[in-house]
Chain A
Amino acid sequence: MRRRWLCAAAIASISCSGDDRTVLTVYSPHGKDLLGYFEKGFETAHPAIDVQWVDMGSQEVLDRVRAEGTNPQADLWFGAPAEAFDRAAKENLLEPYIPTWSNSVSVEARDERDRWYGTYLTPEVIGYNTAAVSRADAPRDWDDVLDPKWKGKVLIRDPIASGTMRAIFGAIVARSVARTGSPEAGYEWLRKLDANTREYTLNPTILYQKLGRQEGVITLWDMPDIATLQQRLKIPVDYVIPSSGTPLLVDGIAIVRGTKRPKEARLYYEYVSTPEALKEAAVRFLRIPARTDIARDSLPEWIRVAMTKIKPMPVDRKLMADSLNTWMKYWDANIRNSGRTR
């Protein structure tokens, strides 16, 4: 009897996705709150489309899109640092599309061949636990994090699987290449960071927990997420915008090459990037819009304040696309855990 019931449940669960709406599949790291919100709004506006999102880390999206290759399961890829999109574009995984607002983003926030466009901006910052470190004592710039007084107090998200950390590490090494022509000084910097690092954490969630619970008190991470911790979850953390400049990551959207529903994919692409949707994302989900045609004063105050303080670090995207993998491999094999007293 029990088995029969379960079999019925099995069949029901398979068939219940089979209503007559067109299914639009979105791969995205933006999390269920934001995705659920936009799903509801979009499906109300377009009742014939059923948005089905699959949420995972941006590196995992890249890995999946790559693995699915000629037979893509996703129609849209919503959310990843530009670096990940550049790699995907290089591997010919993205379908070009020129959105209606293509002239309203800076050159850094779009692919030259229209394979992806930026939706949000993600400045990288230094985060700290406010219960353990006062604002005055907190590091002000990247190099301050290397101070021996933070030995064993820095938490770093495992950079291999993290677009954010790859961007920060990449910026450090790229800075060294720009200054000296070699990545060596950048590696040395990362070695010193490794010496101060208490732990490379599995995922952002564990990083936040450990930071909140003072297993470590300093981290390098992105501003919107730390603002989320502070404002929505009331975790005692705050951020410092590095004074010498910081990588301003562009988080984008792209249509997956080979999609069978390009029309619906474009509708969703446009839907999440209207000024209204971007404002909603800023207020509800603390994302900083990439479009430049949105009135500053319609944005939350913390974004306005941050935008005046941020000095974007120049990012050589071509160098990143060509070399970041090599640098990360070098880091993983030769630097990770090299300076830490175990």
Chain B
Amino acid sequence: MSDGAARRSWMLALPVLALLLWVVAFPNVAVIAGSFENGFGHWREFIASPSDREALTTSIVISLASVVASVLIGVPLAFLLSRFEFPGRRILRAVATLPAALPPLVGVIAFLFLYGESGVVARGVQTALGMEEAPWRLTGVWAIIFVHAYTMYVYVFLFVSAGLERFDVTLDEAASGLGASSWHRLRKVTLPLLTPALAGSMLLVFMTSLGSFSAPYVFGGGIRVLSTQIVASKLNGSLGLAYVETTVLALSAVAGLVLFRWLERKRKYTSSGKGGATRRIIRSRRAQTIAAVLSSLTVIVLVLPHLMVILVSFAVDGSWTTQVLPPEYTLDNYRRLVAESQLWKPIVNSVSMAVIATAANVVVCFVAAYLIVLRTFSGRALLELLVALPWAIPATAIALGLAATFNRNDLLAGRVLLVGTFWILPLAYFIRGIPLVSTAVEGSLRQLDASLEDAARGLGASWWLTMKRVVLPAARPGLVAGALLAGVTAVGEFVAGVVLYTHANRPISIEILAQLRALAFGTAAAYSVLLIVLVLIMTLAARGLEERIA
């Protein structure tokens, strides 16, 4: 690489690196430093505690199992939807990303009403079979993995779908023409080309599970994982121990990062084709029927939690006790919402904070992904670490770090007063969105042959033209998918919000929590329905945008 190119890489990299060091690394250094505040005292306490050791093991086991489950659901679904044309494809495609639209708190509560031991499904089975007790209890490790698989397969699905969109079918056809069996083609052509997308999404699932808070807290039934231990320690006044637990959780995540990155590196292929998928139309009568039945079943399972929230939003609070379905219905929950003058404030807050954070994500993460994938310069490893780091850190810890770092104006120490202002939450959302958008864009860019960029430059295209005509179009699917995920996550964000929100930026999830606290399950559900509608609008808008550009 020429000196000029290296210099340009650095010119792009410096501001991004500086920003990430400041908002991502700096708060975490504070957390790590805090864990050593009395030497190794807190660390000894951690090692001596059987519950903390149990929490560490359980966290890792659950995260690995969640990865396996998400891949098993996400990959076949992505293939089915991008390779075949069958009855019900459009509607399945439309609802496939629905689980991501359920904000964590709402999703977990919907699951409780649906699959919990007094939920609709359990009570239904119990009544149908005339059983004395509920057929199962939604508790423990399996319950958590179940919830994780439902919400997190979307990452795998989206990334693999994006990968398949860039996938050059002619390669597959060529292999087929050369006599390769379909299994052989899958193993030797399709999977290797999808490895970046697959590894990226597996990493996301692993990190998300590791930091997941709502599911273990509600369904854990006393099972300990690190993310809940951190909050327990913090609330119990043992901030030092909480810092140690946070550091250990982050270290586990870094181990996961290394593992999945290695997996990704092991197989690195690029395609120089233009991509573009053609779908095979299923013609056989029987296959059509099977596909229709299977896709409607999947649609039902995917939509049920949402329906449950809608159902509860019409139920009379307190009336639903031992029946299978709520016995009384009302519009009061919605009336209460409309009657409240403050209704729109949290929605406006959440949407504007999500837009601010995601817009920043798109710019910063595109540059970061471009530098990571297509440039070689000495700061690359550091940049890679920094963009992945926020996933390694649970939302509570990010919030904790931010609260400890940006709580006063001290420019020399790199501190700005953001706590207690509107801007602290957009910053938290931005940080949480970094790995989402970067990984998605990296996945797309990795499928671009780096020589294309050099070729364009060699043919005399300016750097800017190359960017516009070669790099950006290649990054586009990942950029849109990543930005959508980041935006949707931000709109429904709960955990960092709880720690950092103020009156000025009170987000939607906090409003739902306040309703729950006031025992207004119905109103909380009605508000959740609004949130879900909002997320659907965002998704449709993103898809429309994507189609218009394409």
Complex alpha-carbon distance, A336 and B222, angstroms:
7
Q: Does A53 contact B (CB under 8 A)?
A: yes
Is the CB–CB distance between B222 and A6 below 8 Å?
no
Q: Which of B139, B218, B321, B516 touches A212 (beta carbons < 8 Å)? A: B321
Asked if B378 CB lies within 8 Å of chain A CBs, one says: no
Q: Residues 102-117 of chain B: 1 if any A CB is under 8 Å from the residue's CB, otherwise 0?
A: 0000000000100011
Known: A2-B541, A10-B353, A10-B355. A212 touches B232 (CB 8 A): no
**B50 within 8 Å of A (CB atoms):** yes
Known interface pairs A31-B518, A71-B417, A212-B321; A332-B51 also in contact (CB < 8 Å) = yes
| Interface assignment of A60: CB less than 8 Å from any CB of chain B | yes
Of A114-122, A232-240, A292-300, the one touching chain B: A232-240
Chain A residues within an 8 Å CB radius of B349? 13
The residue on B at minimum CB distance from A230 is B318
Contact across chains for B222 and A199 when beta carbons are under 8 A apart = yes
Docked-complex contact B356 and A10, CB < 8 angstroms:
yes
Q: Which residues of chain A (195-210) have a CB below 8 Å from chain B?
A: 199-200, 202-206, 208-210
**A204 surroundings in chain B (CB, below 8 A):** 517
Say if the beta carbon of B80 comes within 8 Å of chain A.
Answer: no
Give the residues in chain A near B356, CB-CB below 8 Å.
Answer: 10
A71 touching B221 in the complex, CB below 8 Å, given contacts A10-B352, A203-B516, A329-B236: no
Type the 1/0 row for B504-520, where 1 means its CB is closer than 8 Å to any CB of A. 11100000001111110
Contact present for A333 and B502 (CB under 8 Å): no
**Residues 485-505 of chain B, each 1 if its beta carbon lies under 8 Å from chain A, else 0:** 000000000000011011111
- Nearest Cβ distance between residue A3 and chain B, in whole angstroms? 7
Interface presence of B304 (CB below 8 A): no
Contact A160 B235 (CB under 8 A): yes
Q: B420 near A: Cβ within 8 Å?
A: yes
User: A54 touches which one: B50, B404, B501 (CB < 8 A)?
Assistant: B501
Instruction: Provide the bound-state CA to CA distance between A7 and B356, in Å.
Output: 8
Q: What 0/1 readout, one digit per residue, does chain A (1-24) give for beta carbons within 8 Å of chain B? A: 011001101101110010000010
Q: Is the CB of A131 within 8 A of B348?
A: no
Q: Given A9-B352, A55-B517 in contact, is the A333-B235 Cβ separation under 8 Å?
A: no
Most chain B CB neighbours (cut-off 10 Å) among A7, A17, A87, A205: A205
Q: Is A305 an interface residue (CB 8 A)?
A: no
* Complex: chain A residue closest to B237, CB-CB: A325
List of A residues within 8 angstroms of B112 by Cβ: 206, 209
Q: Indicate the member of A25, A200, A215 with the most B CB atoms within 10 Å.
A: A215
* With A9-B348, A32-B514 as contacts: A71 and B407 at CB distance below 8 Å: yes
**A2 to B234 CA separation, bound complex (whole angstroms):** 41
Which of A12, A71, A328 is in CB contact (< 8 Å) with B408? Answer: A71
Contact in complex: B498, A9 (CB < 8 Å): no
Q: Is the CB of A14 within 8 A of B504?
A: yes
Interface residues on B, range: 35 or more
Quick one: which of A325-342 are within 8 Å of B by CB? Answer: 325, 328-329, 332-333, 336-337, 340, 342
Bound complex: CA of A208 vs CA of B524, how far in Å? 15
| Bound Cα distance from A185 to B12, whole angstroms | 66
* Nearest Cβ on chain B to A80's Cβ, whole angstroms: 12
B479 within 8 A of partner (CB): no
Given the interface pairs A68-B419, A160-B235, A229-B519, the reply to whether A199 lies near B352 with Cβ below 8 Å is no
Contact A17 B504 (CB under 8 A): yes
- Choose among B116, B352, B505 the residue with the greatest number of A CB atoms under 10 Å from its CB: B352
Report the Cα distance A65→B502, complex, angstroms.
13
Bound Cα distance from A6 to B359, whole angstroms: 12
A3 to B407, CA, bound (A): 30
Q: In the bound complex, do residue A206 and residue B218 qualify as a contact, i.e. CB atoms below 8 Å apart?
A: yes
Tell me if A67 is interfacial: C-beta within 8 Å of chain B.
yes
Determine which of A33, A209, A212 lies in contact with B518 in the assembled complex, contact meaning CB atoms within 8 Å: A33
- B237 proximity list for chain A (CB < 8 A): 66, 87, 325
Q: Are A205 and B519 in contact (CB under 8 A)?
A: yes
* B118 interfacial contact with A, CB 8 Å: yes
Least Cβ–Cβ distance between B147 and chain A, in angstroms: 13
Please judge, given known A-B contacts A10-B352, A12-B348, whether A68 and B503 are in contact too, CB under 8 Å: no
Bound complex: CA of A2 vs CA of B50, how far in Å? Answer: 53
A228 to B520, CA, bound (A): 12
| A181 CB to nearest B CB, Å | 25
Q: Tell whether, in the assembled complex, residue B321 and residue A160 are in contact, meaning their CB atoms are under 8 Å apart.
A: no
User: Top 8 A-B pairs ranked by shortest CB distance?
Assistant: A10-B352, A52-B503, A73-B420, A213-B118, A233-B318, A337-B222, A235-B318, A6-B355
Residues of A participating in the B interface, judged by any CB pair closer than 8 Å: 2-3, 6-7, 9-10, 12-14, 17, 23, 25, 29, 31-33, 52-56, 59-60, 62-64, 66-71, 73, 87, 131, 160-161, 199-200, 202-206, 208-210, 212-215, 228-229, 233-236, 325, 328-329, 332-333, 336-337, 340, 342
A10-B353, A67-B400, A214-B118 are known; give 13 further A-B pairs, CB within 8 A: A3-B355, A9-B352, A12-B348, A13-B345, A13-B504, A33-B518, A54-B502, A54-B506, A131-B322, A203-B517, A205-B521, A206-B218, A342-B221
Q: 19 A-B Cβ contacts within 8 A?
A: A6-B355, A10-B356, A13-B348, A55-B514, A67-B400, A68-B403, A69-B407, A161-B231, A161-B235, A199-B139, A206-B218, A210-B118, A212-B321, A214-B118, A228-B519, A229-B519, A236-B321, A325-B236, A329-B238
